């Protein structure tokens, strides 16, 4: 009897899913779906375990726009010829809505209220890049000394991404909640732990959608609400503790000094003043969640970028000396405390090129997931329905010689030196920060952090891979993450 019930249930689910895949809206001219052999599973195995060759074959057979059936639902893949339509039509495609299907920020950060993170960061952080330059450098240099504490003998470091989340959390804490708080290990650990926790949501495939579309999103929300896994709740008390300490201190000093009180320059103070600060009604949970909402975007990409640049150079140590000589020349502009003027970033041309090349070859086969907000017709006549997940086929861009130049798959750190394309400059051949009016507003901030960190790191250390070989990215399906393999670091003899 139980076997009959189980088999009957499987049959019903199979029929339901096959119906969803095969039945098309007759009003829409849908992109082609390549044939697959296994019902329910569809293209999932090839998508997850052989994504590079799978997408090449799909593109060869079906052109720039095609759909695949993975994780129990149809997704549409957009090649280089039509990417601009996704990035330019924000009324039809939403990156943020797609992100929320993977990371339930509204449940994780239920106290944050209605805010637009991009506008807040643009208005209060990114417009003050030169102002924060000195604080950024001091925090990065201090964190580097702490986390890359090396004696006279070479030392092996594993999992660079984890280390770099701690390093990058230091300047973020400094700029977000104050110079004093960034010195506490507790707050740095909270920032890094939250960032690492959010990245897990992106790494876990939506396998529950095989059973029913949307079940994965529902399940992770249940898990978050139940407290089984909630990186925000886990670290909220630590953040509130430090925010409360700062707010109380500022209130006391403002009362004591009156008009002569020196206003702190950080994001916390900006938020307090923007929200109409009421000393008798302080919602610390709301303040903490408003800080949390920015952390993943502020730390994850930068930490991953740093880890990838370090591993790319450690895999090819023959390029480090040339970068070292450039950084020696740039460092002549530093003051007596070793702090560079903001303008010195423009003279790190070889380092900037190396960073751009590392970001270009980050390893993602498809990325920049968007959700369609309405039925949409592409310029070639193919159509996609509302609520369809769209992925951009980034490999189609990065393997094109006409867009990248000779040997596009090869890591050539100085490829961009004479091209007048800094690492923060977007283009149809360079998509790590998206594009259009919704391109990442923090890209200049992130690139500056990576350049300041690498400047100091290259001046002080030699480094190479533990294996002595070129280390590739760690792949999870069509997505890529920094290699967790070790690098050997030793102090540079000057």
**pLDDT (tens digit, 9 = 90+) per residue, 39-75?**
889 999 999 999 999 999 999 999 999 999 999 999 9
Please name the residue that has the structure tokens 């970028």.
305
Tens digits of residue pLDDT in 356-378: 999 999 999 999 999 999 999 99
Entry field: residues in the chain: 494
Distance CA 356, CA 434 (A): 14
Nearest to 195 by CA among 48, 294, 124: 294
Query: Sheet holding 461-465: strands in order across?
Result: 155-157, 487-491, 461-465
Tens digits of residue pLDDT in 443-467: 999 999 999 999 999 999 999 999 9
Paired tokens of 241: 């503790």
Report whether pLDDT(189) > 60.
yes
Tens digits of residue pLDDT in 135-164: 999 999 999 999 999 888 999 999 999 999
Q: Per the annotation, does 440 bind a ligand?
A: yes
Residue 275: per-residue pLDDT: 65
Tell me the mean pLDDT in the region 93-98. 92
- Per-residue confidence band for 4, with pLDDT thresholds at 50, 70 and 90: very low
Residue 280: per-residue pLDDT: 78
- Per-residue confidence band for 2, with pLDDT thresholds at 50, 70 and 90: very low
> Reduced to 3 states, what is the DSSP secondary structure of residue 357?
helix
User: Which is higher by pLDDT, 315 or 27?
Assistant: 315
Nearest to 101 by CA among 210, 196, 213: 213
Paired tokens of 272: 């307090």
Nearest to 385 by CA among 79, 84, 73: 73
Distance CA 453, CA 111 (A): 34
Residue 21: per-residue pLDDT: 45
User: Which is higher by pLDDT, 462 or 182?
Assistant: 462
Report whether pLDDT(1) > 60.
no
Residue 437: per-residue pLDDT: 76
360 contact partners, CB below 8 Å, separation of at least 6: 398, 404, 430, 432
pTM: 0.91
Q: Would you tell me the crossing angle of helices 160-177 and 231-257 to the nearest 10 degrees?
A: 30
First to last CA, the chain: 78
Tell me the mean pLDDT in the region 338-355. 97
Parallel/antiparallel/unpaired status of strands 383-384 and 376-377? antiparallel
For residue 140, give the H/E element and its range: helix 133-147
- Which of 103-112, 131-140, 173-182, 435-444 is most confident? 131-140
Nearest to 290 by CA among 110, 30, 413, 153: 110
Nearest to 472 by CA among 314, 301, 299, 306: 314
Nearest to 410 by CA among 351, 360, 366: 360
Residue 161: per-residue pLDDT: 96
Tens digits of residue pLDDT in 197-212: 999 998 889 989 999 8
> Reduced to 3 states, what is the DSSP secondary structure of residue 464?
strand
Exposure string over 21-37, b if 16+ CB within 10 A, otherwise e: beeeeeeeebbebbebe
- Per-residue confidence band for 6, with pLDDT thresholds at 50, 70 and 90: very low
Tell me the mean pLDDT in the region 77-93. 94
Residue 26: per-residue pLDDT: 56
Please name the residue that has the structure tokens 């957009």.
78
Q: Work out the percent of the chain whose per-residue pLDDT is above 90.
A: 73
Distance CA 277, CA 125 (A): 19
- Residue 423 · residue 356 · CB < 8 Å: yes
Q: List the domains of the chain with CATH numbers.
A: 2-491 (1.10.630.10)
Distance CA 348, CA 357 (A): 14
Tell me the mean pLDDT in the region 234-258. 92
* Mean pLDDT estimate for the chain: 90
- Which of 21-25, 251-255, 312-316 is most confident? 312-316
- Residue 375 · residue 28 · CB < 8 Å: yes
Least confident interval from 62-71, 304-313, 435-444? 435-444
Tell me the mean pLDDT in the region 158-186. 92
- Residue 54 · residue 75 · CB < 8 Å: no
For the chain, what is the total number of helices (H) and then of strands (E)? 19, 12
Distance CA 349, CA 327 (A): 10
Q: Would you tell me the crossing angle of helices 117-124 and 284-314 to the nearest 10 degrees?
A: 80
* Residue 274 bridge partners (DSSP): none
């Amino acid at each position: 009897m139980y076997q009959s019930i189980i088999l009957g249930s499987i049959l019903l689910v199979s029929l339901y899913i096959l119906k969803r895949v095969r039945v098309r809206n007759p009003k829409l001219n849908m992109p082609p779906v390549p044939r697959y052999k296994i019902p329910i599973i569809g293209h999932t195995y090839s998508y997850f375990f052989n994504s590079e060759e799978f997408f090449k074959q799909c593109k060869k057979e079906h052109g720039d726009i095609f759909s695949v059936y993975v994780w129990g639902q149809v997704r549409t893949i957009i090649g280089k010829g039509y990417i601009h339509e996704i990035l330019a039509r924000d009324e039809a495609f939403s990156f943020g809505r797609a992100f929320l299907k993977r990371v339930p920020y509204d449940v994780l950060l239920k106290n944050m209220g209605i805010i637009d993170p991009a506008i807040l960061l643009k208005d209060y952080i990114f417009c003050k890049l030169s102002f924060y330059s000195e604080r950024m450098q001091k925090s990065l240099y201090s964190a580097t000394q702490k986390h890359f504490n090396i004696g006279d003998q070479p030392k092996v470091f594993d999992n660079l991404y984890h280390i770099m989340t701690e390093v990058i959390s230091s300047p973020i804490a400094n700029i977000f909640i104050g110079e004093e708080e960034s010195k506490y290990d507790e707050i740095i650990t909270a920032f890094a732990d939250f960032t690492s926790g959010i990245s897990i949501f992106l790494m876990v495939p939506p396998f529950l959608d095989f059973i029913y579309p949307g079940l994965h999103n529902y399940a992770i929300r249940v898990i978050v609400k139940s407290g089984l896994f909630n990186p925000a709740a886990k670290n909220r008390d630590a953040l509130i503790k430090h925010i409360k300490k700062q707010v109380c201190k500022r209130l006391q000093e403002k009362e004591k000094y009156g008009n002569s009180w020196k206003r702190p320059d950080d994001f916390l103070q900006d938020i307090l003043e923007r929200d109409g600060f009421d000393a008798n009604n302080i919602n610390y949970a709301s303040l903490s969640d408003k800080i949390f909402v920015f952390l993943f975007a502020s730390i994850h990409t930068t930490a991953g970028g740093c880890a990838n640049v370090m591993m790319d150079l450690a895999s090819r140590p023959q390029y480090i000396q040339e970068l070292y000589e450039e950084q020696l020349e740039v460092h002549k502009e530093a003051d007596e405390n070793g702090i560079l003027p903001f303008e010195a970033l423009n003279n790190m041309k070889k380092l900037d090129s190396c960073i751009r090349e590392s970001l270009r070859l980050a390893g993602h086969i498809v990325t920049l997931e968007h959700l369609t907000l309405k039925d949409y017709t592409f310029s070639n006549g193919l159509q996609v329905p509302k609520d369809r997940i769209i992925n951009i086929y980034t490999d189609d861009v990065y393997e094109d010689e006409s867009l990248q130049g000779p040997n596009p798959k090869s890591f050539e750190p100085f490829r961009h030196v004479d091209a007048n394309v800094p690492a923060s400059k977007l283009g149809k051949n360079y998509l790590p920060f998206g594009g259009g009016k919704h391109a990442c507003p923090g890209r200049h901030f992130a690139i500056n952090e990576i350049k300041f960190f690498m400047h100091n790191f290259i001046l002080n250390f030699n480094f190479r891979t533990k294996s002595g070989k070129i280390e590739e990215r760690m792949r999870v399906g069509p997505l890529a993450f920094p290699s967790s393999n070790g690098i050997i670091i030793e102090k540079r003899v000057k």
